[in-house]
Each structure stands twice: as C-alpha cells, then as structure tokens.
A and B are shown apart, each in its own frame.
Chain A
Amino acid sequence: MGIPARKLSSPHARPRRASRRLRSTAPIILLAAFTAAFSGIAYELMLASYATFLMGATVFQYSLVVSLMMASMGAGALVTGRLRISLLPALLGVEIALAAIAAVALPVLYAAFASRLPSQPLILLLVVAMGGLIGMEIPLLNRLSTSRDWLPRILFFDYLGGFVGGILFPVVLVPALGLFRVAGLLSLINAGVAVLIVAVFRHRIPRLESWATACALVTVVAIAAFAGAEPLRMWMEGRLFGIRYPP
C-alpha cells in the first residue's frame, strides 16, 4: 500500500546502536509477536464462535467477546509494568499458561455446552484469562528488544499475525481441522514459542532447568491435545449427544 517495505527492513532503517546479540535474537522476538497475535485472534474467534453457539445473535456476541478480550489485553499490558519477576520468566510463564489453557479449553467448553449449566460465564472467564495473558506479550517482547525504535516493527509483526490468523481461522483452519484440533494446534504454537525462547535465551534465564522442564511438560500436553483431539471429540459427541458416525 505505497510503503516501500524493502526499505524499511534495509540496514539504513535499522537503529545504528543495535548490538550483535539483538540482531541474532530479532527473529524470535518478531516471530513471538506474530504468533501472539495469530493465536490471540484465533482464540478470540474460537470463543466468539462458542458464544454464538450458545446464544445466537452473532453481531452481539462477536462485539462482546472482541471488546472484552481487548479490555483484558489492556489490563494484561498494564500488569507488565508492575511485574515483580524478571522479563524472560514472565514471558515463558505467559506462553506456557496459554498453551495449557488452549489444550483443555475445547473439551471443557463442549462439556459445559452439553450440560444445562449456563456456559456464558465460563466463556467470559476464558476471554478474560486468555486476553490478559495475550496482552502481556507485546510489552514484554518490546522490553526484550531493549530498543524503543523496534516498537513499530514489533507492532507490524503483531498486526500481521492478527491478519493471517483472522483469514486462516474461518477459511482454512476450522473447515479443515475443526475447532477441537484448532485449539490443539494453537496450544502447540504457544508451547513451541516457549521452547524457542528457552533455546535462544538459555544464558539469560534464571533457574533454567525448571523452566525447561515446564516447557517440555506443556509441549507433551499440547502434542497430546492436538493428536488426541479427534478421538476425544468423537468420544464426547457420542457420550454427551449420542452422535454416531456412519461407517
């Protein structure tokens, strides 16, 4: 759109004081910004879909979920200014927590939907929790980059992730994989980012072993959530609604 994209990524546009270490860690920061928004918008659309399943009234549900998610993201961003723990553990904690929530979100939502209990509060709780965690990512990544001039680039990758996620979710992901497997995939993505952060920043992470263990654990959970999504879904459909597929 009239933006000389090559020029922006050319060496001239780069901050001169960027250290060698910053340059080597740049791809992971931009990748994390991309996935933050990619999975963020996918979580948002997933929860908005469930809200619509429950209540109908799509415009209302989408506006409600999207705006509440935004508010939670804002609160998450604000919290990062007051965190007592250091930067990398905070970021790892966010990624691990997102991966863990995504791994269990769909079975829990589906079971709640099948019950007679009102599931709206559960959806809103998930919106607030996931939104809060997602909102912490950009300020943390920005601080990790140590340079203020990086902000537009981080934001660009963040928004780009939102764009790709917003297109892929309804057009490719849900039709091809279904919501259960999409949630597993998102869990895998967040776990993967956590593993990459541990690998790239291993020299700067305090108590590296325990963080590496947590990452490994959540990766196993994410793989199980993705690989087991279809059998689990069909088992739940059969148990909760008596659905049997023709052979």
Chain B
Amino acid sequence: MTRPSPAALRLYSLSVIGSGLGFVCQTLVSGFWSTAYSHDVLHFSVNLAFYFLSMGIGSLVSGRLPARVEMLGSIVGVQALWTGLSVPLLRTGTVLLGEATLLPILAVSVSGLLAGAIVPLTVRAGARMRGVSLQGVLFFDYLAAVIFTLLFTLVLLVPLGYGATGALTAGLAGIALAATLWPLRQGNALPATLAAAAVLLPWGVHKVSLSAGTALNKPGESMHVLINKQSHYQKIVMTEETGRGSFFPGIPVHVLYLDGFVQFSSIDEQTYHACIANIPEAAAEYNQQPAREVLILGGGDGLAARNLLTMPKISRITLVELDPAMIGLARNHPLFRRYNLDSLRSPRVKIVVADAFQWVRRADERFDLILVDFPHPKNISLARLYTAEFFSHVARLLRPRGFAAIQAGPSLSLDDPSLRTLSPVPLTVRETARAVGLNAHVYVSPRDEEAFVLATPDSKFDMSAFARQLGITGMSGMGLVCTYDESWRMPAGKVQVNTLNTLSLAGVMLEWYRKAGQQAFFNYRGVQAAFLPD
C-alpha cells in the first residue's frame, strides 16, 4: 500500500472513530438489554440484525450526502453523542414504558444508520487521495470495532457499568474528533460543537438518569433496596418488602433478586430449600446409603448448604458457584449470614468459584448427593446447565445409589385454571435426565410453586414407595412442604429432550414467562430502575 497523505490519514481517523463508536453503542445497548431481561442470545442477535439493516440503509443514503470531511466529522459527532446518551435514554424509557423491545432496536438502528454511511463516504471522499482504498478502509474499520469493543465492553464495563462506559466512550471520541479536525479549523463548526457536546453532555445525563430512574419507580408496596450490586455476571438486589406473601402481612420480608428475578424470599425459602436439600438426603437414607459427600452446583447464597450442615453424617460439601460477588455477600453480609447461619464459613464446606459446566467436565470425585440449584433456564447460558450433556456429567459424578435433586422451574401449567397440571418445564427436565439413564421423578413445593427432579442412577429405587413412607403423597403434613403426587395431569404436547443442539428448554421457559406475564402472575421486577444493570 502507498503511504497515505495527511488528508487520507484524517479520513481514516474519522472512519475508525465512527465505526468503533457504532460497535460500542451496539454492544452496550445489547449488553444492557440482555442483562436486564436475561434473554441473551435473542436480544444479541436481533439487535445485531437491526444494526446491520440500518447500516445498509445508511450506506444507501450516504450516496445523497456530500463526501466531505465536514460531513464525516458531523456524523461522527452525532454518533459520539448518541453512544453516550443511548444507555441513559434506554434506562429512562424502560422505567417509564416497561419492557418495550422497540427501545433497544431504535437505539441500535440510529447508531447503525450513522455508522453505515461512514465506509462509503470515506471511500468517496478519498477517491482521489493516495492510500485510500476500500479494503484499507474496511480493514481499519473492522480493527477499530475490535479494539473499541474489547477496550470498552470488556475492560471498562465491569468496574464502570453500561451508562458510565458509554459516557466515557463518548467523551474520548469527542476529544479524538476535535483533535482530528483541529488542523482544519475553518468550516467545521458543526463537528466541533458536536464534539464538545459529546464530551460535556452524556456524563450528566447518565447521572441524572440513574437517580431519576429510582424516583420514577412506582412500587405497588413498600420496598427498600438493601443491597444493590452489579457483578461481573448479574445484578444482585436484596430488598426489604412489606405486604408480600399471605401468611404474616406487615412483617418485613427479605427478597433476593438476580437480574430482576426472585431468587429467594425469606417468607418461603425454607420450603424451597427443604425440597432441594432434605428430600434427596431423605431418599439416600431410605436407599440405605446415607449421604456423606455432597456437591452443590449453584446455590451461592448458602441456604441449601445450611440445611445440609444440620445433618452430622454429612462430612464434606463442595459448593461450585460462578459469581464471586455472590459468595462474598453470602459470607460477609449480615443479612445473608442471618439466613444462611454462616454456612459458607463452615470448615465442612469447600467453595469453588467456577462455571459449573466447566467444573463438571473436569471433575473426577464421586458424590452421594448432588444438588443442582440454578436460576430458571431462561437463556442459553442457563439452559445449557439443564441439558442431557450436563446431566450425563452429573450422572457420572454420582455414586451408584446416590441422588441428584435438580431445581426444575415453575411447577404449574398456566393453561389449567384448576392448578392440577404440571408445567412443561419440569417435565422436560425429567425427560432430559431420563435420556441419560437416570431414574427421574418430578416433585413440587406447593408453597413456592417450584418443581424439582429427583434423579438417581439406581434403577431399582421406587419413588412412590419412598414418597409414601415419607408421607409426601398428599397435601397434608410433610406434603405441605414438598409433594409427590402421581395424580397430577401432564401438559399436552410432546416433550423434547433438552440438548445443546437446540436448547429447546429455553424456549419452553420463555413461553411460560410470556403466559405468566399476561396473567400478571409472577414476580418480576426487571423494569424497575433498581433492578436494571448500571
């Protein structure tokens, strides 16, 4: 390639800033939205798709625009401003309107429209310049996309959050734009003004949107946010609420939300954890192989471990949790310690910070009990932890007469008003466990309306006999805590085994949420400002 002239370098510089900004904006908006709503792949793909479409339109429109440096500079200026403002606008729009899918699409489309004009304009403006070629412009633009995306979304995002990262990007881009155009002071008033605005405006708007978002909240009941922490993986919020639950109105209830979804509520977490921890332990006892070594996958709040630590026979608990921030809170925060009774500080508990799938792939120990306690399979990074591939590792790590208890999603089908039909989510989990040769059965927690799957490699284990002996076959006594009822109706339609190839369970889960949302049935607060990612 021939050595480019200063004018060509200026063009390259503008197109690099413009393309980089487009990608950062797209990544921030997609990241913010998918973190807020947990439907990760769908949001990423759809946003990326609309980004490309609007780039195409921008590229077509660019034919009507004058191919001059001032034009390019103005486009880059608007891009910088938009990149800084998009997250605050999205936050405010979400708080006001709720989950409106058009908002992020609009945000990335504006960004794509501007970014799409950059390449053809640069090529046309540089038509008679030394060293400007299509492949050169494309190369530097793609390179800019990588460097900006890696720098801003991977390095700055975790310490700063989405809004501040956008504001910082806008400011730096404004400075770079001003520096590029400085030698040509005349005739560039518009780009200079935009550059100044990009430096000055977004930070303030971001700060205002953070506080205004909270002020705009209209919670239906009294709610105080006690913990509000953005970790590398999720938004962790703990609230104190009054008026929730029907047993003791007026008594404050502590609720933990991960990415806006209820994880536990102090009013009914006991029944939930009795189901996931005590039922498999009782099954092991019934099967005459009492549990000694236990593996907990997920469950970083320490509540399942608390239940198991009350049993002296259990000598060792290995807890594999993804998020170190969750472990930190569960070990150190007084509120968590009050509920988990310092379980994560026990010498019998070994904590491993790792992704569960990566960990089970390499693990070689054997366990008497495995508790699989992940959030609902609402996106691919969670649905992969409910696949036959994952369960085959769980089966491999179980002793021949050991038991796994798997959190298996909401128990009730929303199509049956009599509430006697099982939801398709636990049924899919059961069929998936059966596909890898496990003897698997669904049981439910009637208080939480959550379902679980009890699975064992022991083909002789008789679930009905075990449930009768424990007295959990009907809605009385222990059956009020956990129920195994063979008279439950099965949902209509064919149940698909969940494998990595399609991850069909994520679709089943989202369909359930969609129906639940229509019936105003389930407790999800993602749209309130405190639950949105920073």
Q: Mark B278-305, 1 if CB is under 8 A from A, else 0.
A: 0000000000000000000000000000
CB A50 to nearest CB in B, in angstroms, measures 8
Residue contacts A-B, CB under 8 angstroms, 14 given: A41-B48, A48-B41, A57-B232, A63-B27, A66-B149, A67-B23, A74-B146, A110-B500, A156-B59, A159-B116, A179-B500, A237-B499, A241-B389, A243-B435
Please give me the residue from chain B that is nearest to A151 by CB atom.
Answer: B120
By a CB distance below 8 angstroms, the chain B residues around A70 are 23, 142, 145-146, 149
Q: Which of B27, B56, B361, B497 is most buried by chain A, counting CB atoms within 10 A of its CB?
A: B56
Q: Mark A79-118, 1 if CB is under 8 A from B, else 0.
A: 0110000000000000000000000000000100110100
Interchain CB contact under 8 A, A180 and B154: no
By a CB distance below 8 angstroms, the chain B residues around A116 are 361-362
Interchain CB contact under 8 A, B138 and A135: yes
- How many residues of chain A have a CB within 8 Å of chain B? 73
Q: How large is the interface on B (under 10, 10 to 19, 20 to 34, 35 or more residues)?
A: 35 or more
The answer to the question of A165 belonging to the interface, with a C-beta cut-off of 8 Å to chain B, is yes
Tell me whether A80 and B135 are in contact in the complex, defined as CB-CB below 8 angstroms, given that A1-B113, A45-B41, A159-B56 are known contacts.
Answer: yes
Please give me the residue from chain A that is nearest to B502 by CB atom.
Answer: A178
CA–CA, A56 and B381, complex, Å: 5
CA–CA, A67 and B55, complex, Å: 17
Please give me the residue from chain B that is nearest to A72 by CB atom.
Answer: B142
Tell me whether A245 and B361 are in contact in the complex, defined as CB-CB below 8 angstroms, given that A73-B142, A170-B42 are known contacts.
Answer: no
The answer to the question of B49 belonging to the interface, with a C-beta cut-off of 8 Å to chain A, is yes
CB A3 to nearest CB in B, in angstroms, measures 6
Tell me whether A152 and B50 are in contact in the complex, defined as CB-CB below 8 angstroms, given that A53-B500, A78-B135, A243-B389 are known contacts.
Answer: no
Please give me the residue from chain A that is nearest to B138 by CB atom.
Answer: A77
CA–CA, A244 and B149, complex, Å: 42
Name A151's contact: one of B35, B123, B435 (CB within 8 Å).
B123
| The 3 nearest A-B residue pairs measured at CB | A166-B49, A74-B142, A159-B56
CB B105 to nearest CB in A, in angstroms, measures 11
Interchain CB contact under 8 A, B34 and A37: no
Name A153's contact: one of B60, B133, B136 (CB within 8 Å).
B60
CA–CA, A78 and B139, complex, Å: 6
Please give me the residue from chain B that is nearest to A42 by CB atom.
Answer: B45
Q: A3-B61, A41-B48, A66-B48 are in contact. List 20 more A-B contacts (CB 8 A).
A: A1-B57, A8-B60, A52-B381, A57-B355, A59-B31, A59-B153, A62-B40, A67-B23, A67-B149, A74-B139, A77-B138, A80-B135, A139-B135, A156-B57, A159-B57, A160-B53, A170-B41, A175-B507, A237-B389, A241-B389
CA–CA, A173 and B430, complex, Å: 26
Q: Mark A141-182, 1 if CB is under 8 A from B, else 0.
A: 010000010011101111111111111011100110011100
